[in-house]
Each structure stands twice: as C-alpha cells, then as structure tokens.
Structure 1
Amino acid sequence: MTSTEAWNRTPFRRVWAGSMVSELGTAVSTLAMPLIALRMLSADPLEVSILTALPAAAFLLCALPFGVFVDNHDHRLIMIAADIGRALVTMAIPIAWALHLLSLPLLWAVTFVSGCLTVLFTLAYQSIIPSIVPRSGLVHANARMAIPPSVSEVLGPSIGGVVVGLIGAPLAVVFNCVTFVGSGALLSSFRVRDRPARPPRRRLLGEIRAGLEFVFTHRILRRITLCLGVTNFFVSMRTALVVVFVSKDLHASAAITGATLGAGSIGGVLGAVVGGRLIARYGDLTTLWKMKSSFGWVVILVPLGFHGAGVLVVAAGLFASSFTAMVFSIAQTSFRQSVCPPELLGRMNASIRWVIWGVMPLGAATGGVLATVADTRTALVVSAVGMAGSVVFVATREFRGSSIRQRER
C-alpha cells in the first residue's frame, strides 16, 4: 500500500487531522502553562520543573493499567472521551483565573490529570492504526502520523507566542480546549470496528504482566525497547542542559538560541517526510540499524559547539539527532504493530512507553547533577556518547535484512 492509498481511507484522514489539531493546541499550552506559573504565580525554578515533569510522571504511573483498559474497550471512543476530558479539565485554568482562584497546586493538578488523559489517548491511537490501515500500509500510515507532532514542534512555539501575546496566557489555554473539542469532533465523524475478540479477562496485575511478558520475551521487541530506553535516558540529559549550554556557555542571544533549537525540530519534520520511503527501501529493522550506525554518532557535534559560528555545529547535531529519532520511531512503531496480536496492542504499547518514558526524569536529574559536579559541556559529551552507544542493542543479524513485507511472505 502506498502513502496515497493509506491517506485515501477516511478514518485514517480523520485520525490524522484530529492529531494535528490537538498537537498544535497542546503546543500553545506547553508555552502558556509555564508562563502562568512564572509571571502570575511567581513560581521558582523548582516549581516550574515540577510542572514540566508531571506529563512524564503521568506516563510512568498510568501507562500500564491504562494499557489494559485500552485493550478492553473501543479505541475510538476512548480517544473521544480523552479529548472531551482534556478540554473540560484544561478549562479549569481560565475559569479559575476569571474567579481569582488561580494557584500553583491547581496548575499542577490540571497538568497531571491532562497528562493522564493524554496517556490514554496516545495508547488508543497507537492501537487503532492497525484497525484502519492494512498491515502493508503501516509504515506509510505511521510516517504520516509522525508529521503532526513534528510540525507542532516547529510552529507551536511561534503560534503559542502570538496567541499568548494577543490574549494572555490564561485565555491562550482556551485555544487548547477548542482544539481538543475539534479533535473529538473529527473522531466522532466515522465508525470503525476495532475491538478484537479477547480471551477471558484476568486480574489487573495478570493483564499488565501479559503485556510486559510479550515485550520482554520477544527477542527483537526487547532489543528495541532497551535501545529506546537508553537513548531516552541520555536524550533527557541533553534536553535539560542544551538551552543552558547554548545561551550561557556559548553566549548566544535568545533569538539565536531559539533558532538553534529549532533546527532539531526541522530535522524531525524531514524524518517524518522521508522516513516511509527509507523504510520501504531498506525494511523496518534494517532502517533501525542504519539510522543508529550511520547517523547516531553525529550527536557528538552538540557538545563540540563554540561561541559565534559554533552554534551551527550544535544545530547540525540537533538536526541529525531529530532526523534519526523520527525515522527510528516510524520504523519501530510499524514493526511492533505488525508483530503484536490485536488483543495485546494496548498493553504492548503501554509496556514500551512505560519503560522509555519512565527513564526520562532520571536522565534529566542525572544531567543536572553531572553538570553541577563537572560542567555543562562534559554532561553533554556523556549524553552524546550514551545516545550513540545505544546502537549495540540493534547491532545483530535480525536488524540487517528484515521488513514487514518480507515477513508477510
């Protein structure tokens, strides 16, 4: 199946459009919420850090039980309910502001609950794709689905800045509520039978164990999960420090810092655009190996930046890193959807997400400690070496000649 054939399926177009709408809205809130904390509630850096860490905490706490829930209920209805829930919860911010009841604990609570609903939405949408696109179209479908988050990373901060500047941070959150409603409306406009027959239900822990066992007893999925977990740990180290490195150590202006970081987002967009073609040519597993072995080492450019034109070196490293990560993400998502039984999709996705998101707060904390004990550049070198070294998990024969199409034969 070609990219055009996948796109011509109405359910897939609606899911894609809903994702694009909600991603842009979320990008606005991602900017607005910290600004509310800083400018209106006089939050200190630790309090803002807690705010930004809560979405990852939601994945760590909720992913596994939510995976069980997703496997037992209609995926489309879950996504609609999550959108409506996020719209209602997020509206608490502008309402509290209008009533002069806005507080930091409320901001934390809204962020965490919204993060939990995002976990539910994400697991359901990753599980619904194999139901609305045939297996031969998974790569092209996942490549298309990678575009909304990539575009929102590029355009989101600019749109968020304009919206916040025009109507203020509390009212800018309303924009996000509207996008959630729009996403829910798009998902309500089609029907699909995507709930597979399941064996008799077990207790919650037994259901969770089934998902974890599938991931960690499957030789290739286990390697992919470990590779992603190690990569995300070291990426989180870099994410926590790269702004400090560029703006403080390299003495770049705010505009130059933003442009340098934006280069990474552009790399992700390019990866989403060409990822499907690369996977169609080399196969999903071989693409994982090629991305890690060929481009994975370019991340070492980030800590090699220097004052002045040296920010271009940092930008090149971020661009290559995001490009590699996006193509890798499309390939591994398509692979795991193709090998997982339909009745386990929610728990399989939840198990992998639980691992690869759970390590991120640890990585960020480790980066902060290392930068304090040594310096920022040293911490970024360790981060780059760790990201590049994760190639060892995909440096086996299985990753050098297999694809979805070959397995179907």
Structure 2
Amino acid sequence: MRTTVDEIKKFAGFIAEKLNNTSSKVCVCLPEKGVSALDAPGKPFYDPEATFTLINELQRLIQTNENQQVKVYPYHINDPEFANALVDSFLEISMKNSKDASPQHSEPNQDLHVDFSKNKSSGYEIISYSPSDFPDARPENLLRTQAIMQQLKDQINKGIPIIGAGAGTGISAKFEEAGGVDLIVVYNSGRFRMAGRGSLAGLLPFADANAVVLEMANEVLPVVKEVPVLAGVCATDPFRRMDYFLKQLESIGFSGVQNFPTVGLFDGNFRQNLEETGMGYGLEVEMIGKAHKLGLLTTPYAFSPDEAVAMAKAGADIIVAHMGLTTSGSIGAKTSVSIEESVVRVQAIADAAHRINPHTIVLCHGGPISGPREAEFILKRTKGVHGFYGASSLERLPVEQAITSTVRQYKSISIE
C-alpha cells in the first residue's frame, strides 16, 4: 500500500540494500506507469509523483554492474508489454550473453578504440531530474530521460564512446540496435538517403519533413526493442503548432528529439534571409527548450560555438557538433573541411557547451568524419567529446559497400 514519500524512500532503500548484497545475476524491471492494479489512472492509489519517487530512488540506490542491471519500461505493471519485457529480461540473464557470443554485435565499432580518461569528470555523477523543475513533463518521461542519461554517463565513465545512428528504414534501425548503438534518430533525410538520393534532399521542398517522420515512426518504432529512438523535428515548419507536435511525437513512442531539417546547414545570404524572415535557428533552439521542459531527451545539432551556447542554455542533454554534409560514397559530399580543421571546430563547440553546462554530453558528426577511423581521429584529439553520431556513415555507406562487394562476389563465380 502506498504511504508517504519518505516511507517510499525507505522501502526503496530496503530493496536496494538486499539487491546490492547479492552475488546472483539480477535484472530489476521497473514499470514507469504504476506498480499495482490500485495505482492505475482512476484508481484509489494513483499518484504519479509517488511512483516517480519509488522508481527514481531504486535507480539511484541499486548498484549496477555486468551482473546487476536496472531497466525502466514505459508501461504499467499489468500491461502485456511489461510482462513481455519481464520474460525477455529473464531469458537474457538465463542464457550466455549473446553479444559476447555473436561477433556481428561488435563489428560496427571494432576499429574505434578511444581512451576517455581525459574526458571523465571527477567522481561518479548521479543524474537526477526533479518533477518540480519540469511542471509540464510527465513523470514517466523524466524517468526515461534520466535513465538514458545515467546509462550514457556510466558508459562514458567506463571509457566507452557514445554512438548514435540515423535510421531511414526499419531494417537499418533493427541492425543498428543489434550492433549495440546507443541512440537512433529518425528524420526525413534518412528516407531520401536510403532511396539513393543525397541527404540534402531533406532540406529541400520535396516532402513535408515532419509528416515523413510520423510515417517513418510506424516502420522503425515497432522493430526497436530497447534503444531510445528520437525524432528529427523541422522546428521552422510554419504549419505546425510545435507544442502539440512535440506531444504527438511523445505519445507515439519517441524518447526525444533532434533539430533536423536544420537551417544550420545553410550559409551566406540565404541563411541571413531565413533569419530575417522568421525561419532562423532560433526556432530550433526554442523547440529544443520546449522538448526539454516536456522531459524529452534532446540531442540538437550545433554548427558553431554560439549555437552550442544557445542550445546548452535551452537545456540540451546532448549536443552534436556538426561538421557539414558527410563525405565519401556515391552520393556523399566532395567538399568539406579537413579532418584536422574538424578537430578544432569540434573542440570549440564542446568548450562552448561546457561553459554553460559542464555535464553536457558532446558528440561529433558529419563532414570528413565518415568512418570509425575518422571518428577515432577526432575523439583522440579532443577533450570533453564523448562519441560519434553517424547517419550516412552508419547507414548509407555500409549498405553501399556491402551490396557492391556481395554482387561482385557473385559475379566472380565461374560457370565453366
């Protein structure tokens, strides 16, 4: 039975103490939307704040390691989906670790070896979001974002880079997850890219960018089981009421947002004209701020130190230092900054973000950073940059190379 918040904290402490003293392999599955039939919406003990407190305390107090995990699911304890999650977790801890046994799970990042000791903050950081600071956010959103950020911070503390990926198809998303990716982003250029068109098609008037993302959600969200999936949002869309659109994205299962299509990829007079006519980067900053207040995970692109500052002030959880259109491949850019210049630019963006919020996670993306070796080059020469986000480099280029190579192997067969 639910009592007071203080007593709930004591219950959580009692549970955590028992678990922390066990040597068995344990997976703690926590339902965000309620822990009994009596605290479902409309029932006598329905209290989202109390549920949030219980789950938040358990996440904070239970010590996680390779044998002890804590997973938070966006379900009520009596939902069939939560029952399925329990079964999956039971099977996972009952069998040998499939990721260790299956080599393809590590292939995408096998060449990326980075020492993050220089990037770690002192001490162990506990991520905590207070409901009082997010009056517009649903408690389950805050719990989910807190869990994601804590997992990413734990990974950084272990010296493992954060890897995010764009997905333009369901099969891309499915096997990005199988490869161990940390974040998946769905946006309109992914559809163009996987249709054999250049990624910049996503910036031109060939389709309604936000509508395309809603369509792609039906293809991607059902096949991704655990990795957070974010939506690319065109914040300058004059035909969307952004507050409602963000809630729509939240309701269909997206964990967060990114600002794409973005005017950050435009420069010169055209960019200036966009800014002057009410379609500038400021709308993207505003959108990220609104999403942050809703408790969604926010991972915006920034193209300059000033933009990084603006996004950090808006509450961005992760800032992606964008170096321009990705090079390489059949439809990649032929012109970009050098890899050496990218080191300087990425560092400047990271430094600017950390001046506002030292705990901001920073990733690099685009331009000449088109593969694991290039990402490693950047990460080994920067400080406070925690990983890489790839779109073309994690989706288009691997497909181009694999299909071309496979067809050539078939064509090399002799029938004589």
Instruction: Report the TM-score range of the alignment, normalised by the length of the smaller protein.
Output: under 0.3
Question: Whose helix fraction is larger, Structure 1's or Structure 2's?
Answer: 1
Larger Rg: 2
* Structure of greater relative contact order (alpha carbons < 8 Å, 6+ residues apart): 1
Q: TM-score, normalised by structure 1?
A: 0.26
